[in-house]
């Protein structure tokens, strides 16, 4: 039986200068172990007016974080240069290495993402294993698409870095809990704490359990894989 995995969700505002955002992530690394998840583009925000500078900073930050991450699992998204354009890319760091990347496939038109960024391929959305735990990632808006839930069937943990708006707060909470029950997995959401964002960072469990704290900068919980084993044994869906 796999041991429970400690989880720390960072529910942060995007600050300027960029360095302050990196310092918040480093502080969490120094005080946490297990899985650590930061909100979508938490290093630089969607700084469309300064994309070149945002990418350059994110490149440096990724190198620094790789040196810092030991046995923890750090998941965040960042702006990257792809060909002649830019993309929003999820990055997973473990034991000083980037072990998975995927660019956001479903861009959010209401936020003008499609005007400034290119979409990743759907084939980039796939599961990956760390120490016997199968992970998957959906980036913010991608949580709405049931065909992507299907792609990540069999994952033990689905991580959702997000900048999900306040007006659709309940959608985020309902979709995350539904995905956890439907796919019989844990769903971990790290959302921005900016004033126009929903907060609603959470851990949803496959039995309907929920850890959610809107006011906290860090939300901590434990992912107990015995619960997964028990539910998958008694409610067989495959």
Q: What does 38-93 look like in DSSP terms, one character per residue?
A: --TTTTT-S-GGGHHHHHHHHHHHHHHHHHH-SSSEEEEEEEEEETTEEEEEEEEE
Average pLDDT score over residue span 17-28: 98
pLDDT tens digits for range 192-219 = 999 999 999 999 999 999 999 999 999 9
Residue 73 reports pLDDT greater than 90 = yes
Give how many domains the chain has, as a whole number.
1
pLDDT at 236 (0 to 100): 83
Report the pLDDT averaged over residues 50-76.
98
pLDDT at 1 over 70: no
pLDDT at 83: 85
Question: Looking at residue 85, what is its pLDDT?
Answer: 96
How many angstroms separate the CA atoms of 179 and 158, rounded? 9
pTM for the model stands at: 0.97
Q: What is the number of helices (H) and of strands (E) in the chain?
A: 6, 12
CATH of the domain at 131: 3.60.110.10
Q: Do residues 176 and 160 lie in contact, with contact meaning Cβ atoms separated by under 8 Å?
A: yes
Amino acid 71: pLDDT: 96
Question: What separation in angstroms does the CA of 197 have from each of 71, 175, 182?
Answer: 31, 16, 26
Determine how many CB atoms are found less than 10 A away from the CB of residue 222: 13
Instruction: Assess whether pLDDT exceeds 80 at residue 238.
Output: no
Interval 106-116: pLDDT, tens: 999 999 999 99
Q: Which residue range forms the structural domain that includes residue 78?
A: 5-234
Given a contact cutoff of 8 angstroms between Cβ atoms, the answer to whether 186 and 224 are in contact is no
Average pLDDT over residues 64-81: 98
By C-alpha distance, which of 19, 24, 45 is closest to 36? 24
Range 31-50 burial, b when 16+ CB lie within 10 A, else e: ebebbbbbbbbbbbbbbeee
* Weakest-pLDDT range from 1-5, 14-18, 33-37, 225-229: 1-5
**How many angstroms from the chain centroid is the CA of residue 45?**
14
């Amino acid at each position: 039986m796999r041991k429970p995995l400690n989880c720390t969700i960072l529910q942060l505002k995007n600050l300027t200068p960029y360095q302050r955002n990196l310092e918040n992530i480093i502080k969490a690394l120094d005080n946490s172990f297990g899985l650590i998840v930061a909100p979508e583009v938490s290093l630089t925000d969607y700084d469309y007016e300064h994309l070149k500078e945002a990418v350059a900073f994110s490149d440096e930050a990724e190198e620094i974080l790789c040196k810092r991450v030991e046995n923890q699992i750090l998941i965040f998204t960042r702006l990257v240069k792809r060909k002649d354009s830019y993309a929003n890319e999820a990055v997973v760091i473990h034991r000083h290495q980037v072990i998975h990347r995927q660019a956001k496939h479903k861009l959010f038109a209401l936020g003008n993402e499609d005007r400034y960024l290119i979409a990743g391929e759907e084939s980039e959305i796939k599961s990956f294993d760390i120490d016997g735990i199968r992970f998957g990632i959906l980036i913010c808006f991608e949580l709405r698409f049931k065909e992507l839930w299907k792609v990540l069937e069999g994952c033990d943990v689905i991580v959702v870095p997000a900048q999900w708006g306040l007006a659709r707060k309940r959608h985020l909470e309902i979709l995350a809990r539904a995905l956890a029950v439907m796919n019989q997995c844990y769903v971990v959401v790290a959302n921005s704490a900016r004033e126009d964002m929903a907060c609603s960072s959470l851990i949803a469990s496959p039995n309907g359990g929920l850890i959610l704290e809107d006011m906290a900068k860090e939300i901590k919980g434990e992912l107990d894989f015995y619960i997964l084993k028990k539910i998958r044994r008694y409610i067989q869906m495959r």
